Amino acid sequence: MEIQANAPLQAYNTFGIAAKAKWLVRVTEEKDVADLLQMKDLQGLPKWVLGGGSNIVLTGDVDAVVLKVEIPGIRLVEETPDAWIVEAGAGVGWHELVHWTLDHDMGGLENLALIPGSVGAAPVQNIGAYGMELQNRFHSLDAVDLSDASHHELDASACQFGYRDSVFKRPRRQNEAGQSAGWRGQLLITRVRFALPKRWRAEVAYQDLQRMIQSSGIHTPSARQIFDWVVDIRTAKLPDPRDIGNAGSFFKNPVVTPEQCADIIGRDPHVVHYPLGDGRFKLAAGWLIDACGWKGKSVGAAAVYERQALVLVNRGTPDHPVTGGEVMTLAKAIQTSVYERFGIWLETEPEVI
């Protein structure tokens, strides 16, 4: 465990926003949390967990103990008749895990290739892309309580996954049954396990993947082929955070009723929409933003990416770095614009600090 006071965070958030942490603690194993709780200088101070920094917007310095999770390791922990159970440390890069599973001939995560961030942060957001969500492959996870260092193991039902949502994003309070309704700010995820199906089948219903099938003539793609397609699609649409600072998809795709969808189609028949299993429809937030004319527009050093309107990017320079305030001013202007035209208020994906 390494501890640093007044630590710069610009290198630890993919948007590249300059900010500092009152304290930065590198957590490399679960017992580091117990050791931390015994330190008198840090007792009583708020704690904030930082993973890969790919889904946050810093609007100022963080007056807290920032726990930078760097727990390593990937391994096969169990094999059942139906699945391989693979475990990864919370500090492992998500794309690194996807690579590892395919290198070991285990398909199932390929649709989630090239998503930035860490394994430990993935369940918090219930990451998803190209017709797949983390919850579809999730088995269980280990976590440690930041108040008393107690160990917790949570299965899928305990995580209460939803669309870009989980129990880890909800406030810590009691529900009607007297049980905890949220773990936000309370648990630090240490290890995550995934059930990768032995009876693998390609998940290619998503429109972009269907285009790849048609253009390539490969109608029965392997997991590796789907991985390559997803990487190509994401690379063509989305900026690499190493080159252009960003937090990935900045807004959630809104889910609407059939009546709402029909109303929007009536006003603009070209709106991109997808039917869901419960009768509702998911609208493409990027299309809505683009339709309002935001692609390429900016507020200060924050801008809408010219190739994908769903992504806000850092166009700052060393002399004029982007600020979290500029990012959020741009985001709110976009939300207002989309609401005025379509009657839909877009929800942001990143955590605003």
Active site (catalytic) residues: 164, 249, 349
Spatial distance between the Cα atoms of 95 and 118, rounded to a whole number of angstroms: 8
Phi/psi at 156 (nearest 5 deg)?
-60, -40
**Secondary structure of the chain: what % helix, strand, coil (to 5)?**
30, 30, 45
The total number of residues written for the chain in this structure: 353
Spatial distance between the Cα atoms of 90 and 87, rounded to a whole number of angstroms: 9
Q: Which of 75, 71, 22, 14 is nearest to 47 (CA)?
A: 22
Cα 311 to the chain's mean position, in Å? 13
Spatial distance between the Cα atoms of 117 and 53, rounded to a whole number of angstroms: 7
Spatial distance between the Cα atoms of 276 and 204, rounded to a whole number of angstroms: 16
Q: Are 285 and 346 in contact (CB under 8 A)?
A: yes
Spatial distance between the Cα atoms of 275 and 280, rounded to a whole number of angstroms: 6
- In terms of phi and psi (left: phi > 0; alpha: psi -120 to 50; beta: otherwise), the region of 178 is left
Residues 6+ away with beta carbon under 8 Å from 241: 14, 15, 16, 54, 116
